[in-house]
Amino acid sequence: LRQISQRTISTASRRQLENRVPEKQKLFQEDNGLPVYLKGGAMDGLLYRVTMGLTVFGTGYVLYELMVASMPKKQK
């Protein structure tokens, strides 16, 4: 069993990946007025908006819960 697993791993053909680092460097170093966290395209913008929305919602919810926790409950 050990020989079979070693043989299949060692003889497996590897895909050669294209080096796209120079393309990405050119994209991110371009002076187009965008912050670096938005230079990746539409998906970066979407992720940024979702993250900011969750942050604002979470902050508001925490403040609400702190306010509720600080108010004494009325005794009946």
Domain membership flag for residue 59: yes
Q: Which residues of 40-67 are buried (b: 16+ CB within 10 A; e: fewer)?
A: eeeeeeeeeeeeeeeeeeeeeeeeeeee
Q: Is residue 53 part of a domain?
A: yes
Q: What is the mean pLDDT of the chain?
A: 87
Q: Which position has the token pair 């050990």?
A: 2
- Out of 11-20, 46-55, 57-66, pick the least confident: 11-20
Q: Is residue 25 part of a domain?
A: no
Q: Is residue 18 part of a domain?
A: no
Domain hosting 57: range is: 33-70
Count of the separate structural domains present in the chain: 1
Specify if 47 maps to a domain: yes
Any domain includes 52: yes
Specify if 42 maps to a domain: yes
**pTM metric for this prediction:** 0.64
Query: Looking at the predicted structure, is the pLDDT value of residue 71 above 90?
Result: yes
Residue 70 predicted with pLDDT over 70: yes
Is pLDDT of 10 > 80?
no
Token look-up 């680092």 returns: 21
In angstroms and rounded to an integer, the radius of gyration of the C-alpha atoms of the chain is 26
Pair of tokens at residue 39: 């230079």
The arithmetic mean of pLDDT across residues 23-38, rounded, is 93
